[in-house]
Amino acid sequence: MCVWFPKWPIQRLRNERPELRRAALVLFAGQSQRLLVTACSPKAERKGVRDGQPLAEAKALLRNANFLPADLVADREALRQLALESQHFSPLVGLEEGMPPESLLCDVTGCTHLWNGEAQFLQAVRAFWTDRGYQPQLALAGSVGVAWALAHAAKNTVVAAGDEAAALSGLPVALLRLPATVLERLESLGLRTIRDVMALPRETLASRFDLILPQRLNQALGFEPELFVPERLHEPLTIDHEWDVPLEDRLTLGHICRNMLQALLASSDYPGAGFQELEGELRTESGVVKLEVRLVRPSRDEGHLAQLVELQLERSTWSGGVVAMRWTVVRLGYLSNREHNWFAPEAESDASREVVALVDRLSSRLGEDGVLRAETLPDAQPEHAVQLNPWTQAGLARREEYALAPEQARCRPFRLLGVPQPIVVVTLDPEGTPICMTWQKAERRVIRYWGPERIATGWWRARDAQRDYYRTEWDDGTHAWIFRDLRGGRWFLHGFFE
């Protein structure tokens, strides 16, 4: 059986965030200079938005739409969760091949009689997903190829054994899951339906087109088997080690950790999976010490993981000797085949790998909040105009970067004090033109100033801001950013132009 979720990224997002259901939704991806539409809702399609279109064009066509970055990893993970939920109907459920997957494949052999027949079974599966807010298209057939083709042809049907050829014959040739080059060649020869292809001598297909065409045809007709990898709920990956004599030497503990990691890696031989989050527990004579290792990107590099664990050991303190240790893999992640560059798309991937390893090391030693990435937000209040997130934060997608206009950014100080410092300012008039101020018990004469820049915002927050900002030049040449709080009339120093 094949269960297809058309426009899966859109369905996923709308199911997770119901507020996105009202307006058109457009997802995009790509590099900062060239962002392309990867998926869009039917409402957006009606306005002329198409997959592969530049984002700027889509924005011009749609004004009141939600534009969000695509997240392939989250899409795949959510579909995997659906596969696990589908085990309600069959123990063998997997994701289709190819990126990005949008369909679930289920082996329902010996399952349908529990629902009194195949048609009822299909109906039950359909009701299961529609009740959860999804819009699937399903088909049940004797081979994966036929089920996939019929599900994608929007024919919610059951194909009896032996009727595969008849069910397929009228369908477009694209539903054989062929690469674009083969489809182009078939199109140029006027072969549009599967019937047209089946009419050709089978032995000539491989030489005239590609090996994939006879293979797909044979798979669809049940002459060749087609396999898929079923999703399984993994057992927690844990390793324990105990010893009799309490150990205090950190080098020895580091060595034990390395051996344990080696064993963990050996026992978790899932294809394409790496460790992304590990939890450690040291049982000491005085209590239990918890350790946590999080990586920016999943890794199976034993040396790198061991280094991160050693940094955690360096950072942690405990009294007495250690008598037992446990390591658990809390989160596994997919090892990407293509090197994803977090910083600059053009930069060398080696350099990117080095930086990711550096972030892992710094996060292990300084903690998650010790290594941050800045995201500029369109908020007028300086304290809220930037958000700093840990690099290792899960599900942190690369967003469309917002940046202040350069001339506006140059009116902001390099050093912004965490808390504005109260200062005494002498003004020329009640409206507040600063001429002199006292800071750190010294009097500073203001020889020039630029402003005021009025910032009145944040009424939706507990305490809104109403401020007049001035860039001031003191008599010694120092440039400072000060503001007058319009509600109380008090003055504050907020930063320095370093």
Whole-angstrom distance, CA of residue 207 vs CA of residue 202: 10
193 token code pair: 């339906």
Please identify which residue in 90, 112, 143, 352 interacts with another protein, judged by CB under 8 A.
Answer: 352
- CA angle 67/69/70 to nearest 5° reads 120
CB-wise, 114 or 366, nearer to another protein?
366
Identify the H or E element spanning 10. Answer: helix 8-16
> Least CB distance from residue 109 to another protein, whole Å?
51
Phi then psi for residue 156, to 5 deg, are -75, 90
> Least CB distance from residue 26 to another protein, whole Å?
22
CB-wise, 279 or 473, nearer to another protein?
473
Eight-class DSSP state of 230: B
Please identify which residue in 160, 347, 394, 424 interacts with another protein, judged by CB under 8 A.
Answer: 347
Whole-angstrom distance, CA of residue 322 vs CA of residue 242: 9
> Least CB distance from residue 344 to another protein, whole Å?
5
Residue holding tokens 């109906």? 123
> Least CB distance from residue 368 to another protein, whole Å?
11
Eight-class DSSP state of 468: E
Q: How many residues bind another protein (CB under 8 A)?
A: 61
CB-wise, 122 or 357, nearer to another protein?
357
Please identify which residue in 51, 339, 464, 475 interacts with another protein, judged by CB under 8 A.
Answer: 475
| Neighbour-count burial of 413, counting CB atoms closer than 10 A to its CB (0-12 exposed, 13-18 middle, 19+ buried) | middle
Q: Does the footprint of another protein cover residue 100 (CB under 8 A)?
A: no
Helix 8-16 with 72-85: angle, nearest 10 deg: 80
Q: Does the footprint of another protein cover residue 259 (CB under 8 A)?
A: no
Residue 143 · residue 222 · CB < 8 Å: yes
Q: Does the footprint of another protein cover residue 447 (CB under 8 A)?
A: yes
Residues in the chain: 498
With a CB cutoff of 8 Å and minimum separation 6, the contacts of 252 are none
Residue 300 · residue 275 · CB < 8 Å: yes
Site for another protein in 383-442 (CB under 8 A): 385-386, 388, 391, 401, 403-404, 406-418
CB-wise, 80 or 412, nearer to another protein?
412
Residue 374 · residue 412 · CB < 8 Å: no
> Least CB distance from residue 406 to another protein, whole Å?
5
- CA of 103: how far to CAs of 111, 138, 335, 374, 498, in Å? 20, 9, 21, 36, 55
> Least CB distance from residue 312 to another protein, whole Å?
14
Q: Which residue stretches of 298-348 are H helix?
A: 302-315
Identify the H or E element spanning 151. Answer: helix 144-152
Whole-angstrom distance, CA of residue 231 vs CA of residue 84: 7
| Neighbour-count burial of 476, counting CB atoms closer than 10 A to its CB (0-12 exposed, 13-18 middle, 19+ buried) | exposed
CB-wise, 214 or 382, nearer to another protein?
382
Q: Does the footprint of another protein cover residue 354 (CB under 8 A)?
A: yes
CB-wise, 243 or 343, nearer to another protein?
343
**Of the listed pieces 1-9, 84-92, 422-430, 477-485, which binds another protein according to CB under 8 A?**
477-485
CB-wise, 12 or 471, nearer to another protein?
471
Q: Does the footprint of another protein cover residue 478 (CB under 8 A)?
A: yes
Q: Does the footprint of another protein cover residue 235 (CB under 8 A)?
A: no
CB-wise, 376 or 393, nearer to another protein?
376
CB-wise, 235 or 350, nearer to another protein?
350
Closest CA to 442 of 428, 463, 423: 423
Please identify which residue in 353, 396, 449, 486 interacts with another protein, judged by CB under 8 A.
Answer: 353
CB-wise, 130 or 349, nearer to another protein?
349
**Of the listed pieces 22-30, 54-62, 327-335, 351-359, which binds another protein according to CB under 8 A?**
351-359
Residue 327 · residue 239 · CB < 8 Å: yes
CB-wise, 84 or 447, nearer to another protein?
447
> Least CB distance from residue 69 to another protein, whole Å?
13
Site for another protein in 450-469 (CB under 8 A): 450
Residue 394 · residue 414 · CB < 8 Å: no
370 token code pair: 């010790």
Q: Does the footprint of another protein cover residue 361 (CB under 8 A)?
A: yes
CB-wise, 148 or 470, nearer to another protein?
470
Q: Does the footprint of another protein cover residue 343 (CB under 8 A)?
A: yes
Q: Does the footprint of another protein cover residue 212 (CB under 8 A)?
A: no
Please identify which residue in 59, 155, 300, 365 interacts with another protein, judged by CB under 8 A.
Answer: 365
Phi then psi for residue 131, to 5 deg, are -60, -25
- CA of 244: how far to CAs of 172, 249, 259, 317, 334, in Å? 70, 15, 18, 21, 38
> Least CB distance from residue 380 to another protein, whole Å?
11
> Least CB distance from residue 365 to another protein, whole Å?
7
Tell me the one-letter amino acid at 286.
Answer: S
Q: Which residues form the interface with another protein (CB under 8 A)?
A: 343-344, 346-347, 350-355, 357-359, 361-362, 365-366, 369-376, 382, 385-386, 388, 391, 401, 403-404, 406-418, 447, 450, 471, 473-480, 495-498
